[in-house]
Chain A
Amino acid sequence: MSLALPRASFAQRHAASLRQWRFFAWSFGRSPSSMLGLAIVSAFLLVAAFGPWIAPYPLDAEGAMNLANRLKPPSAEHWFGTDEMGNDLFSRVVLATRTSLWVGLTIVGIAGAVGVPLGIAAGYFGGTARAVIMRVTDVFLSVPGLVLALAIVAALGPGILNGIVALSIVWWPGYVRLVEAKALALRNEPFVEAARAVGASDLRILAVHILPNCTSPIIVKASMDMGLAILAAASLGFVGLGAKPPAPEWGAMISVARTYMPNWWWYAVFPGFAIYLTVLGFNLFGDGLRDILDPKSNRG
C-alpha cells in the first residue's frame, strides 16, 4: 500500500470519510429494522463483554450443584428459572453469550481469512488458478454444510474446539464465491486498467484496488454469518457434538432441556430465545449494512 506517502493534517485528509460515515449513519438510522438489529447486536456484545458482572450467580455457569433449587419456574430471584442442577438459568444464558460470540467470531474470522484471499486470487487471475480454486469450492458447497461439519466432528471427536474447526472448514467456500464474483467484476474496471497502465504490480492492484472495493459485501456477509455460525455451533451442541454440559452453551443447554419439556418449559425456552434473538439481530443488522453499503443505494 502507499504507506510512503506524506500525510496532510488528519482532519483535512478525513473530512470526506467523516462525511461518508455520517451518511452511513443517516441512512442506517432511517430503517427501523436495521436499528432493531443494531440494538440486538449491541445488547449481545454488551452482555458478552460484561456477562460476569451481569449474571447474578456467576458460579452457576461453571455447573455448581444446588439440588434444593432444581427446576424452579421463573421468579424474581431466578428470572429464567433454574435447571435440573438448581443453577440459575439467567446466569447461564448470560454467560453463554460470551461462548457464542467467541465461536461466531472465530468461525467467521477463519472462513474469511481463508476464503477472501482465495476468492480474490481466483477472480483476478482467472485461468487455471481460478478453475482449481472454484472447483474445490464447488465440491465443498455441494455438500450440505452442517452435515459435513457433523461428519468432521464425528471424526475429530466431540468438543467445542473441534466444532469450531469443523464449521470453519465448511464455512470458507461461501467467501470464495462472494469475493471471486466481485473481484472478477472489478478486474475490468477502468481504474484497475489505469493502474496497470502506470505499471502497477498485481500485488499492488490486489491490495490497493481490488480488496478495498470488496470489503462491503464481505462485511455484510460476515455480519449475517455471525448469526448463522452461532446457530450452527448451537446445533452441534444440541446433538451433543459441540460444547459439553455443564459448560454454558445455548445449544447444549437446550439439548439437556428437551427431556424436561413441556412441564419445565422455561429450561428450553430461554436459551432458545437467546439463539433466536441473536440470529435475528445479526440478520437484521446485516440487511441494514447491505442497504447502506450497496453502491446502488449510495447517493449518486
Chain B
Amino acid sequence: MTAPLLQVVGLSKHYALKGGRSLRAVDGVDLSLHAGESLGLVGESGCGKSTVARLVLRLIPPSAGAIRFDGRDIAPLKEDALRPLRRDMQIVFQNPHSALNPRRTVFASVAEPLVVQGIADAASTQARVTDLLREVGLPESFLWRFPHELSGGQKQRVCIARALALAPKLLVLDEPTSALDVSVQAQILDFLQDLRGRLGLAYLFISHNLAVVRQVCDRVAVMYLGRIVEEGPVEAMFRAPRHPYTRALIASVLPPRPSGLPEAPLAGDVPNAADIPAGCRFAPRCPLRMDRCSRDDPALAGSDAHRVACWAA
C-alpha cells in the first residue's frame, strides 16, 4: 500500500478557559486518507468534527499532534510556508449562503484562489473561471451574478468551483448538503461522486447524515466528544457497528417511511467538552457500561480495517 495522502496522528485542539480549565474540542484523533479515497467523519454537533476539518487545513493551529500531508508534517508550519500547500487542499462549507462574500460576483469569488496564488494571468483568468463554472454545471451567464441571486444549490456549486480552482488533491466537505433541499442534495451528491471519479480527488466528508455518508464514502469514522470511537469500511460499519454510540446513531436515523414511534436509544445530552468524563467519555450515556468503563479510557483497537474504542466490543 502506498503512503496515505493525509495522515493525522494524535491531533488535539484545546482551548484555555477561565479558571485553568480547558475545552478539549479535539482530543487525540488519528486518521488517514489515501489519494482518491472518501472518508466520512460523522458525529453530533460539538463532537469536534468541524474542528478536525479546520485543523487538517491548518486554518487553526493544533495544540498537539502531527498532520502529514503528502508526507510532510504541516502542523508546525507558519502561514507563509503553508500558502503554496493550500493549492492541494480546499474546503467546501455547510452553508453556501454565508460561504460567498455577498458583495462579490461569482466571477470574483471563483477567481480569488487563482489571484491569491498568482496562478493565472489577467487574460486567462476569465477563461479558467468559465471552465470551472462549466465543470460544476453552471452557465457562463452566472459570472457576473451576486450570491443573493442564486439558489442554495447554485451557490454550493459556485463554492465547489472555487474549491476546484486550484486543482486540489484533497477536498474537505463540511456538511456540504445539510443546508439544501433533498432534491438538490441528491444533485450535489451525484455531482460530487462523479467529480471524485473524474479528478481522482480525496474527500474528507463531514456529515451528521449517516444515509448520505453511506452513499458517498468508502470509509467512516465516528466521533464523540473530540475522539474517534469507531472507524472502518462503510459497509462493515453499517452492517455490523461495534461501538454502542455508533449503534445508537444508526438506530436514531428515521427511515423515509411510516416507522411508528422512534425509540430514543440514548438518554441525556452530550456532555460539555470542557468537562469530559473520566474513563470512557461515552460511559455516562452508554447502555453497555461496565465498572471498568468509568476508570480506563479505551483506545482505538482492532484489525487495521475496522477499529473500535470500547471495552465491551
Chain A residues packing against B (C-beta within 8 Å): 2, 4-6, 8, 12-17, 19-20, 189-191, 193-201, 204, 208-209, 212-213, 295, 298-300
Q: Does B103 contact A (CB under 8 A)?
A: yes
Contacts of A199 in B (CB 8 A): 79, 82-84, 86-87, 113, 116-117
Assembly CA distance A178 to B257 (angstroms): 51
Interchain CB contact under 8 A, A190 and B93: yes
Interchain CB contact under 8 A, A8 and B91: no
Contacts of B99 in A (CB 8 A): 190-191, 194
Contacts across chains A and B counted by CB atoms under 8 Å: 101
Say how far B149's CB is from chain A's closest CB, in angstroms. 6
Given contacts A6-B123, A191-B99, A198-B166, contact A20 B116 (CB under 8 A): no
Q: Does B90 contact A (CB under 8 A)?
A: yes
Q: Does B143 contact A (CB under 8 A)?
A: yes
Contacts of A193 in B (CB 8 A): 54, 59, 91, 93
Closest 9 CB pairs of A and B: A198-B113, A199-B83, A190-B99, A190-B93, A199-B86, A212-B103, A191-B101, A16-B146, A200-B116
Given contacts A16-B149, A190-B93, contact A209 B122 (CB under 8 A): no
- 25 A-B pairs with C-beta separation under 8 A: A2-B108, A2-B111, A2-B115, A4-B122, A5-B108, A5-B122, A6-B126, A8-B107, A8-B126, A12-B143, A12-B144, A190-B95, A191-B98, A191-B99, A195-B116, A197-B57, A197-B90, A197-B91, A198-B112, A198-B166, A199-B79, A199-B117, A208-B112, A212-B103, A300-B148
Say how far B79's CB is from chain A's closest CB, in angstroms. 8
Assembly CA distance A16 to B102 (angstroms): 12
Contacts of A189 in B (CB 8 A): 98
Which B-chain residue is minimally distant from A213 (CB atoms)? B103
Which B-chain residue is minimally distant from A211 (CB atoms)? B103
Interface centre among B89, B91, B105, B115 (most CB of A within 10 A): B115
* Dominant SS among interface residues on chain A: helix
Chain B residues packing against A (C-beta within 8 Å): 54, 57, 59, 79, 82-84, 86-87, 89-91, 93-95, 98-105, 107-109, 111-113, 115-117, 122-123, 125-126, 143-146, 148-149, 159, 162, 165-166
Say how far A216's CB is from chain B's closest CB, in angstroms. 10
A2-B108, A199-B116 known, 5 other contacts, Cβ within 8 Å: A2-B115, A195-B116, A197-B90, A199-B84, A200-B116
Contacts of B86 in A (CB 8 A): 197-199
Interface centre among B57, B99, B117, B144 (most CB of A within 10 A): B144
Contacts of A213 in B (CB 8 A): 101-103
Given contacts A6-B122, A16-B144, A16-B145, contact A194 B117 (CB under 8 A): no
